[in-house]
Copies of this chain bind each other. A is one copy, B any other.
Amino acid sequence: MTEPTAIGKGLAVSSRRRFLREASALVGGVVVANGLPSSAASAATENTNNLPPSVPEWMKTPGAPMGSQLYGAPSPFEKDVIKNISKDLPQYLSASGRTPLQDLDGIITPNGLFYERHHGGVPSIDPAQHRLMLHGLVDRPLIFTMDDLRRFPSQSRIHFLECSGNPAYTKPFGKTASDLVGLLSCAEWTGVSLKLVLQEAGLQAGAKWVVAEGADAAALTRSIPIEKCLDDAMLAYSQNGERLRPQQGYPLRLLLPGFEGNMNVKWLRRLHVTAEPAYSREETSKYTDLMPDGTSREFTFYMEAKSIITKPSGGQRLTTPGFHEITGIAWSGHGKIKRVDVSVDDGKSWQEAQLQEPILTRALTRFRLPWHWDGQPAVIQSRAIDETGYVQPTLAELLGARGENSFYHNNAIWPWRIASDGEVTNAAA
């Protein structure tokens, strides 16, 4: 077979002409019948001889045999798609590792790239030795083994988890989508309804809070309002089908859909039912929001509606003008995403993006907008609206309301700047 001569030649002339013709149908973001625009903008190369491709080296020898990986791993060519961990951490026991959002598609985060945030390192827990105690204002205090918990009826749901400090309110903001909001991931969780477990023990009158404690060296402790515990809270033992990863709380974590990450206590070993919150270290010295007037907002549980464009995003480069899909993720701790708007003109006008089905409550939702980049500098950004009608604010709006003392719950719209050479950078950095 003959090597086609045109490989790598770039955007074919006829392709470019055809795109320009069809792109006119997209003015104003109008999407054609099947929900997808013609993508004649692709830089595919025309094979004018209509020849089959030459045979690459890897077809000429047998590949790796069955069983070379009994538990699989990504291709070595993807070795740079890893968790994003600061090189200059002051210490490594209370730190965070971010999901490389700009390299991911869809809404599921693979377990190997799920974000991490620890307060005393990652414990190595033998599930046969692990116990969950449920005590306090209950009729029957109980101790559960993991086998006990797996005897309960199970449930599976797809939910996001996000750290409350994702990102900070002040510079430096970082360069990539991962730098900014990479303390965010989404998985299919399986476990037991916390409500069912509480009913099993029997709640007593006056039970208003459940204090959850982790079995890590930090004994991370948070107080959960009883209403959430009796709603959609889950004692989760699996993520994306398999058992939790150690970094996500193996063998058991609390899952509080829509609540800030640290309340979803990992390595869960104790649920203490109480009349008052514990006012633990992690809900007094940390994870409160200091306001301009010197007061602190405490127990700010919910992660508000938010979105980010992941492609194109900071650190990437548009190689040629023409068709580019703008895509990203949106989420809300209050329920489903209702709409995502995208602006490609520095916020002057907005177009409604297409949302990928299924749109699930308290889960990431992938959005997409077809875009023709004319090669001129541009600023692009997205704004999420959730089913409560809440609209994702700008950073200026947030700073106006909260001042610069706040550290958590920054859900600002984030703009990316595209230079005429196609380089994408953080427009707010």
B-contacting residues of A (Cβ < 8 Å)? 4, 6-8, 14-15, 34, 36-53, 56, 58-78, 81-83, 85, 89, 92-93, 95-97, 103-114, 116, 118, 120-127, 129-131, 133, 135-136, 140-145, 147-149, 151-156, 187-190, 192-193, 195-196, 199-200, 215-217, 219, 237-238, 240-247, 250-251, 269-270, 272, 319, 323-325, 327, 356, 358, 360, 366, 368, 370
Contact = CB atoms under 8 A, between A and B. Distances in A.
A42 B141 contact: no
A223 to B, nearest CB: 16
Contacts of A62: 93, 120-121, 217
Contact of A356 (B46, B77, B113, B156): B156
A144 B114 CA distance: 31
Contacts of A113: 71-72, 241-242
A85 B319 CA distance: 44
Q: Name A's interface SS.
A: loop
A78 B104 CA distance: 26
A7 B144 CA distance: 8
Contacts of A368: 153-154
Nearest to A247: B72
A238 B100 CA distance: 14
B149 A48 contact: no
B216 A63 contact: yes
Contact of A325 (B38, B39, B71, B152): B152
A111 B241 CA distance: 10
B325 A155 contact: no
A142 B4 CA distance: 10
A328 B242 CA distance: 15
Copies in the complex: 2
A410 B196 CA distance: 39
A50 B135 CA distance: 6
A148 B43 contact: yes
Contacts of A107: 156, 188, 241
A37 B244 CA distance: 25
Given A142-B46, A156-B107, A71 B74 contact: yes
Given A44-B200, A73-B245, A106-B238, 18 more contacts: A6-B143, A7-B131, A36-B153, A43-B151, A51-B141, A53-B270, A58-B217, A62-B120, A64-B122, A67-B89, A73-B112, A75-B251, A103-B242, A105-B190, A107-B188, A110-B242, A155-B356, A358-B358
Contacts of A41: 151
**Among A6, A148, A187, A324, residue most surrounded by chain B Cβ atoms (within 10 Å):** A148
A106 B217 CA distance: 31
Contacts of A237: 105
B118 A215 contact: no
Nearest to A91: B65
A97 B67 contact: yes
Contacts of A104: 238, 241-242
A122 B68 contact: yes
Contacts of A325: 151-154
**Among A104, A110, A251, A358, residue most surrounded by chain B Cβ atoms (within 10 Å):** A110
Contacts of A34: 193, 195
B245 A135 contact: no
Contacts of A250: 75, 77
Contacts of A360: 358
B144 A75 contact: no
A278 to B, nearest CB: 13
